[in-house]
Chain A
Amino acid sequence: MIKANQPDFFFPWLERFVAAGSPWGCDGTTVGLDGTLCLHLTGAGQQVDLMWDVGTPREDKPTFRGGSLWVERASSTDPRLGKAALRHVAARLTAMFHKHTPALLTRRNRELVDVRFGPGLLESLCGEILCVGQTRRADHLLAEATHRDRAFELRFRSSGSELLMHLVPRGAPAKGEVVRDYGPCALCTARMPASDAERSILDFVGYVLALSMHPQMRFIEDAAGSARSDAGAQRLINPFLHDAVPADISLMNALQGCSGGLSMVAHSDRECLSYCPLMTGPSQSLYLTRPELRPNLEFLRRLRLTDLSEQAVIMSGGEGALASLLQETIEQDEPALLVAIDSCVPRLIGDDSVAVVQQARREHRNLPTINVEIRLDEADNQRAFWRDLVRELSQSKARTPGKAVNLIGFGSPRTRSLPELQELLSSMSVRTNACVVPTFDIDEMRRFRDADLNLVFPAKHVREAFELAQPECGVVGAEAAAPFGLEGTRAWLLEVANLLAVEPPGEPFFQQRMSSLRARWDALARRAAGHRVGVVLLDCHFREPDCMVRMGVPWLGCLDEMGFALEVMVVRTHAHAGSHERDFQHARQRLGEVLRSHSGLSVTKVDALDALGDLLRKGKFELVYTEVAQDRRVTTAGKVPVSPFDFEMGFQGGLRTLRRLLNLAETPFFQRYHQHLPPADWKP
């Protein structure tokens, strides 16, 4: 079994994260013997191999996060290609590893100087990464690790072959060929690897050891020496399978994504703030239709902290500190919007932050100010925040002639599919007045009332975020099925036209739009017809009125439209054990109604979750959508999980989605690596 900090656990996410929602595809990641990772990128018909030495900055290469990142190979001689790839990957890696630099990328054991060269060596150096009887590479198992004859033997065995490696301390005679010299010791093999599988073992072991040793390390033979294992397993969340409200609809992300003259004052200390993941970590959600949000210098520059010390907490409280910080911020930044954020400790000791902020407001009457009260049991009051934002910033002015909408929850300026939606709207002479949630723009908020309609993205989390604000808006709110897929986008446009009472675009308009797209779509759809998607749904699911939509995304209809054949598994839930059969029939019926290509549809009844693993393994599909939260059966069965986060809005977005899903279906990552993953019942 591979433990939480086993490198393989991260690779799927690494590749997908690098590629997701970008013009770059990532065809794979190879670990090098010397502690490097090679990322194979494709984009615009070109190929680029990037090397990342995660631990050592190389003199002649661009430094990156304590190591180096450089272009190793590029199919074009144009230096711009390599640079673009480099920029893209660096940005993605920074976002991904902002906080949780996983084991595969961290040089370990820096604090370890004297290491006993004895039976516990592997444990001391590699913790849980190389475990006898547990670590597997391809069909080989690490069967033995023994300290013998002044060397350390590692034996990987499969049914047909054995690869023997030796770790030899400095000064001791080499055993066979030296593959790599780490300084304190060298890795030797009795014979060179004879197959790809063996080569990958050697690479893997070499890589793990490279990260585990440093030149100052000394091996002490059987004398006193400390042997410590670095077993701090790191918790990772599979970002594609979380069922909670997407974290991107949050106050902090709104503030991080805000454009315009925002200043923030947090009545909080640095420690407290650094525990607030939304403030300091990358956005947890990879929702492709939303912006990537992560703390940037700009955000930190806009944020000031009272940063109370314990002594200040005891002796004076923080009202004075808050008042002077507000004053200083207003004077120095001259902000267009001031947001004051409270935190737990000042509240516990009874600081009246509200009164302090109100005082500042009285002194600066024209400055829009929002006071964000933090309660101990709530991360932030983001719901009231949208209301306050509308209240503070929106001004009633004479309406601009012509129809206009505010798009609520469709994304922010950086959302890739948004420009297309705006362009589609403008083709029916509808102006997009503002795009808010998850982020906002101060100028847009000012003219917020200059619209005829608040079009709210039809998902619970958006609806909830904006609910309180709606009565403040002075603009009617409405929802329409979101523009996903070709049909969906078309229907959305017609519905918006209807809501706004404007002339809907006619058939020629759609014909013309589709003509540029049709050929590519059809070619991809033909490829999609060769693939099946496994869909795991709970029987109780079909009782919900909008069961075919998740987070506003009609993923099931979209998959159908793309031409994927669907293999639906309806799992019986405990709560509704008695009515499983009825639910199942109901599910069949609903699916029949919704999907047009019934030919490729099969619906199976699954009586227990335990049976699901088998079905997934045997199923002739590559992609799996599952409603069983955090279910690792999918990846351990060698299948690729897909989720609503993989879908993009609009015609072009639909095309990109289709291409992405095909790429996922045709990337054999999980088929190849699933046996290295911990079993399905493993919990981080």
Chain B
Amino acid sequence: MRTLAFYGKGGIGKTTVATNISVLFAKDGRRVLQVGCDPKHDSSYKLVAREQVRTVMGLLQVPGTQTLTREQVVMHGRMGVDCVETGGPEPGVGCAGRGITRMFEVLGEAKVLESGYDVVVYDVLGDVVCGGFAAPLRRGFAREVYVVASGEIMALYAANNICRAIVTHARNGVALAGVVANLRGSSKELATLQAFAARIGSRLLHPIPQHEAVQEAERHSRTVIEHAPDCAIAHDYTALFGEIQATTQEDCCIPRPLEDTEFEQFVLNAMVA
């Protein structure tokens, strides 16, 4: 079983990339589970109809609930992708991080990960702000981390921080499998990302440009692969998928995140170059 996690700055495109990759794995005949580790539970948005979305936290809220079964937790999404949504508190209260840890406990109790999946894709919320959001990096969960980034400074900054979390959890067999470029169209973006990937000792994967088809598909609550399989951006996702599919142990590394001062220097150089 391959276990992938997509991390990256908030709004960078993790869910979009992860969902398309899940769909492509499924189209390739694999049994895929996509786990949304985000209280705003939008990971399965393009796979499961809104009204059918159940979140683990929501299910646990039902009075009298002690344990959850696999059937309760797992939703069967379109395109053959199974989905789990963590859910969590309203913004500003409670503890979403603890909620993610709790969701992993539920996955264990309901033996969800032992039900014959070939690929598990974790779609994690923005920054790794506390231990709860690093839960997918614990032993037995994700092993390949893909960092989604653009050429913008804060996106790179977040990517660098995520690399620190990967180093912390490297003892669990977690490694960085590559940087996914979700381009914003700023100048020298690709070169900056390439340099960044090289600096941290990793590689840059097939870049995804901005394309209106993504949002067009989103309006129909679908992935581009489903909605417009022939448009250019669908081919980019497929090319990225090809690289992810071919990824082996050798392609993964323990990254060398930059120190804060190094990072500043890197940004300065990238601007000047």
Contact = CB atoms under 8 A, between A and B. Distances in A.
A, B assembled together = yes
Contacts of B93: 315-317, 319
Contacts of A316: 89-90, 93-94
B95 interface: yes
B60 interface: yes
A311 B60 contact: yes
B57 interface: yes
A349 interface: yes
B102 A315 contact: no
A641 to B, nearest CB: 46
A313 B95 contact: yes
B94 A310 contact: no
Contacts of A348: 95
A319 B94 CA distance: 9
Contacts of A350: 95
A194 interface: no
Chain A interface, DSSP helix/strand/loop, else mixed: helix
B61 interface: yes
A311 B98 contact: no
A314 interface: yes
Interface in A290-326: 310-317, 319
Interface residues of A, number: 12
Contacts of B88: 314-315
B99 interface: yes
Contacts of B96: 314
Interface string A345-375: 0001110000000000000000000000000
B61 A317 contact: no
A164 B57 CA distance: 65
B56 to A, nearest CB: 10
Contacts of A312: 94
B95 A317 contact: yes
Interface string B89-107: 1100111101100100000
B94 A349 contact: yes
Contacts of A310: 98, 102
A313 B132 CA distance: 14
A272 to B, nearest CB: 15
A356 to B, nearest CB: 13
Contacts of A311: 57, 60-61
Interface in A563-618: none
Interface in B62-95: 88-90, 93-95
A620 B42 CA distance: 81
Interface in B38-72: 57, 60-61
B101 to A, nearest CB: 9
A316 B91 CA distance: 10
Contacts of B102: 310, 314
Nearest to B62: A311
Nearest to A351: B93
A252 B171 CA distance: 43
Nearest to B101: A314
Contacts of A314: 57, 88-89, 94-96, 98-99, 102
Contacts of A315: 57, 61, 88-89, 93-94, 99
A287 B90 CA distance: 51
A45 B181 CA distance: 93
B89 A317 contact: yes
A432 to B, nearest CB: 50
Contacts of A349: 94-95, 98
Interface in A523-545: none
A542 B57 CA distance: 63
Interface of A: 310-317, 319, 348-350
12 contacts: A311-B57, A311-B61, A313-B95, A314-B96, A314-B98, A314-B99, A315-B89, A315-B93, A315-B94, A316-B89, A316-B94, A349-B94
Given A313-B94, A314-B98, 9 more contacts: A311-B61, A313-B98, A314-B99, A315-B61, A316-B93, A317-B89, A317-B94, A348-B95, A349-B98
